[in-house]
Structure 1
Amino acid sequence: MFKPLLTVVAVATGSLALAGSALADYPTRNIQGTIQWGTGGATDNVVRSLTPHVEDVLGTTIVLTNRPGGTGVIGMNHVMRQRPDGYNILFGAENPQLYPLMGLADFTYDDMHTVNIIGQGLVVIAAHPDSPFDTFAELLEYAKENPDELRMGGTGAGGLPSTIHAMINAVDELDVRTVTFGGDGPGVTALLGEHIDFMPLSLSAVAEQIRGGRLKGLAVLTDEELEELPGVPPITEALPDIEAFLPWGPFWAVLVHQDTPDEIKTTLEDAYAEAVASDGFQEFLQNFGGATLNLRGDEAQQYLDNWQSVTAWAMYDAEAETIKVSPEELGIPRP
């Protein structure tokens, strides 16, 4: 009886030692990275630019796969269903913080572990250079005189365009048709081809097109002109009351399964913090029209909570059709 017991203890102890060794050696193989939006959009561009810097820190390869659809639900659900071993990472944007409000899913980023909030994007309302509108004020006036005529590019319920549309309708009225695409990239392509009239976009998705004259900015979602886009007026010139929602912008995040071992969470947090702060990525982000956040832990959670509060109540007060539940019912406090 005694000898088998010792054997069992020895085996158990050995298993624990092997598990501890595996954690200490992480990562020992390629990591799978899921981007919850399509190719060519802001999230895709940011992630693909950051990833080589993370690979250098971790000493491994991160295999990136785009899984768009369902306003990001498909990609996030895929990662949440994988083993919590740190070998499946989600790269997402802000949309999951609104899923329960829109009835898209019963989870948010609170149901995963936030490795890093990489940065925040600036927002521009863009149009084709041949558009008859040179400012958003002109477009807004035309839309009031011709309701439901203009075509606005969108990315689905809770996407950046629908959120900006809700903010505008919370302080004024913008009656337009929405043409939905699977991400910023396809929307920008449609805008370049004049298949839509305008689209609210992350500046990082269209900065080069605007600088090169292939698109033009009608307004930036700020209360002052941006150095990156001289001559493009702040949206407060057309809508002074929208200042109550500013500053606001989309963000990019890195997440893993909530049950991932703490040692691996820390390894990933350290690696992404170092990579985001690297000179190479900082140069990219500045040229791309983004602002660095590089948040982890409590700071990341505080940021997520604040973004959710501001956005959810702005959309609810605008009586956005996409909002199915009151933020109050979900315990989301007013900002």
Structure 2
Amino acid sequence: MEFTKYVQLILRTLQNLYPNYLKKRLLNRLAEDGLIINNKRISSKGQLSLITDVSFIEDINEKFRTILEQDSDNVCFKYVEDFEFTKEYRHVSYFQIKNFSNEKLDKLVIEDKINFFKKDHEMFDLVDSSASKPTIKRSKDDVFIKFCYLLDNKVESSKGSIKYVVLAKINTKDNILEICLDKVSYDYKLQKDFYALIIDDIKQTLEEMLKIQIFDIDFKAVVNFIKSERDDVSIYAMKMHRNGTVAYLDAQSNEDLMIPILGELQAFIEQNKDLINVNKETKEIGRKLEDFIEGIEVKSDLPSVKMIWPSKGIKLGVDHGYKDRHYSFFMFYDELGESRERMEYVREYLIDSFSELNNPTT
């Protein structure tokens, strides 16, 4: 992919995947490092300036378009790439691993099978349909492996593709693998059970690439242990059966319960698919119904358990046995952070509880 096309891909991704609050935090990083002006009080006010001034542009996507198109030194796009390593993600699954070594990783870098992240404007992530060449970043106890998928819009091709990042984080101290994903709209989900298939692909790639073993963790037992032994977290059931189908409960801030009856709605769509496919207008109605289901996040992603840490302001959904797999799928509620503090706290809490459950003191 040519660099100019990559920049356009970044712009479409920011527009279609990133919520505005995360884009604002990314703008703040650029402003704090003196690469842009985004404050009307210190604006160049039309005078000649070597720094890109976006303070008078109201639309946040247009701000980024101006920044990246006027970035003659090609450094601003690296902030987006770095942000992909440091920000929180909506979904995560945890696994145990064995036989990881940094030597294997070093060998892959030497063989040019993976990229090592550098703030070098001449290097940028490889993005393709299979995320064939990941980019890595390391710290003392952690290895971050970023897989970059090229996702096409299956409904409106004119909207173009986006860069969909899946971040695999390996903690070498605890031998724990995290696979982190963001929510993506229905238009970019190329197949059913999208998230589960992506996780399957990442696990297989890591096993083959790093010659490691990956094991599922029984988090249902861990959550039950936490519920009986800990008093700093509240745990609520989120799934119920109704008329032979599964209905889901979504407790919004411990207030009213909402029960979207998805089984009936999906059955209605299926039973009336001939009517829905009659013409362009009825097909559009069918698509809007599908979008509606996706929009309320209950068809496939709503968890069966909700965990709340009141003192930390953390709300976490857990779906055990996700899509008939043997692992749990976690979902962070509320706004995502620009740093991984909540994700780190949850990982440590869950893994400590897992260790305590499996290695009780005598």
**TM-score bucket (shorter structure):** under 0.3
Q: Higher helix share goes to which structure?
A: 1
TM-score by length of 2: 0.25
Give TM-score scaled by structure 1 length: 0.27
- Between the two structures, name the one with larger relative contact order (CA 8 Å, sep ≥ 6): 1
